[in-house]
Chain A
């Protein structure tokens, strides 16, 4: 292969500088700063700091609130990922079979994608509202006294529902395109080989969707862990109280509401390690991923 060259060796570096500067200013520098401050006790009003070694970390792991939040994060991530993947897959399989009005149907399923997370949160708040939320009124018919922001389970339920709803279109689009990438003749061959529609799905369609599914699994775990901040913030309104929250949201609450910058930094370092592990796992799996073609 021919290499495209630059006549001046500084020119490529010049072109790279804006990108590198952004990465450095908004990623490496704050990350380095967070790692450093996780070893200090910060004065809440910005007057100096004291080196405390690993005390921020030990305090964190001994905190019942932190462990509770970590446990909630795990459950929240598993439930949101599972529900948003399985519901999206179901919708994609059904949408793939629609022949009449397919475009309208697909657009209706996709447009939630354009809703920003905080807006999704607000819509959720309206639907679940204590005094006039239609969902609250609906579940009340079944004797469920839904109390958003007061009852731990009810609040978590609303968070999960809104987060899943927000993530569905992304998964739907990927699953639908994954389905449409399966050669028509392979499906037809299956049609001749197997009379059961569910058998065909599990034996042929599902394995061929596995690469898409794995990619989405990683995307959804990342989403549930980190990108649900907007949704949670809207539901919790920065007033933790008895409310459930994920680790990412706790970093914000402890750091910016509680003014415990050192402890919050220690938490964010743990999250950084988590992201790093997840990334390594993803790359390993991508390398090993079966390529069918």
Chain B
């Protein structure tokens, strides 16, 4: 078990491209932190720097109480699960799981016991003599997990481990990984581009964009109080509605509809989550609904308000039809952003 802390860690490639801008954060002992962001945002580079697979250009990385910038990956006391599993194709499942232990000069009998224990935990006991090519995607994923847990590391690193699985298996493995991490209590860093994975698995989420950390917070904080318009639109499906508005004399208006209060006269971006808008015949929003997406448990209404596109999330019991409706906004559900920088006000 260990804490991880990054102090102005930065990655610049030889061609001058700054993949990760100076980043500082601290991961507590036993915490499950998810790095999320679109492709190319630097989240994998960040993880690979923590793993030691990528050099750190600047700053200090501490795992436990050691600065590990120049420590070999094998000596950082970490275990990593890769996107395409990275199993050794010529080794059996048992050898794959035990390989890391063998190199630590652990007696063969102990290795066998640990492998057996991990295999039992992951339902792999029947497959120990098989080669990875004879396993299904989900089983390979479990072997990769097994390889990580037998090492009993102080830090787990996951690099988009579920992205090669189909949707159903992904949901199942998501729960298994989370439960396993809870049980073992090992500090974990998990990289994904899937905001659902981030929301459901994380104790804390780090949202990255273009090499920069946009926000660090619990899933609820990131979802309900996004630090920027980027976070607002990246987290949540469908994303937060972002409307162009203006504050004057303390009132924030979009078109001629008043939505909120603000003390300073200025242009604003107004953010409202689709589920924070409720159809209400006495509401003061007038929405022209043009399209309804039926999702079973709920529906999404897509329409226009004062010339701005707007999405409304309604429960399955609420009768809906296209055309003109009125709606209201839940109290305290409006986020305000600076339109130029996108930063939350």
The answer to whether A binds B is yes
CB distance from A252 to the nearest CB of B (A): 44
Question: Do the beta carbons of B133 and A292 come within 8 Å of each other?
Answer: yes
CB distance from A25 to the nearest CB of B (A): 46
CA distance A290 to B90 in the complex (A): 9
Contact A192/B83 with A290-B90, A293-B89 known, Cβ cut-off 8 Å = no
Q: Is A186 an interface residue (CB 8 A)?
A: yes
CA distance A293 to B147 in the complex (A): 20
CA distance A196 to B75 in the complex (A): 11
Contact partner of B80 among A192, A199, A207, A210, CB < 8 A?
A192
Question: Do the beta carbons of B100 and A195 come within 8 Å of each other?
Answer: no
Contact A207/B90 with A194-B100, A196-B103 known, Cβ cut-off 8 Å = yes
Interface set, chain A 250-293, CB cutoff 8 A to B? 290-293
For chain B, the bracket of interface size reads: 20 to 34
Question: Do the beta carbons of B103 and A188 come within 8 Å of each other?
Answer: no
Size of chain A's interface in residues, with CB distance under 8 A? 22
7 smallest A-B Cβ distances: which pairs?
A195-B74, A185-B86, A193-B100, A189-B86, A292-B89, A194-B103, A207-B90
Contact A195/B103 with A188-B53, A189-B80, A292-B133 known, Cβ cut-off 8 Å = yes
CB distance from B221 to the nearest CB of A (A): 32
Please give the residue numbers on chain A whose beta carbons come within 8 Å of chain B beta carbons, in ascending order.
183, 185-186, 188-196, 199, 203-204, 207-208, 210, 290-293
Q: Is B78 an interface residue (CB 8 A)?
A: yes
CA distance A210 to B80 in the complex (A): 26
CA distance A210 to B83 in the complex (A): 25
Q: Is B72 an interface residue (CB 8 A)?
A: yes
CB distance from A211 to the nearest CB of B (A): 10
CB distance from B149 to the nearest CB of A (A): 13
Q: Is B99 an interface residue (CB 8 A)?
A: yes
Question: Do the beta carbons of B88 and A191 come within 8 Å of each other?
Answer: no
Convert B123-149 into 0s and 1s, putting 1 for each residue whose CB lies closer than 8 angstroms to a CB of A: 000000000010000000000000100
CB distance from B22 to the nearest CB of A (A): 25
Interface set, chain B 77-99, CB cutoff 8 A to A? 78-80, 82-84, 86-90, 99
Question: Do the beta carbons of A204 and B88 come within 8 Å of each other?
Answer: yes
Q: Is B51 an interface residue (CB 8 A)?
A: yes
CB distance from B137 to the nearest CB of A (A): 14
Convert B318-334 into 0s and 1s, putting 1 for each residue whose CB lies closer than 8 angstroms to a CB of A: 00000000000000000
Q: Is B73 an interface residue (CB 8 A)?
A: yes
CA distance A207 to B88 in the complex (A): 10
CB distance from B85 to the nearest CB of A (A): 8
Question: Do the beta carbons of B88 and A190 come within 8 Å of each other?
Answer: yes
CB distance from B94 to the nearest CB of A (A): 14
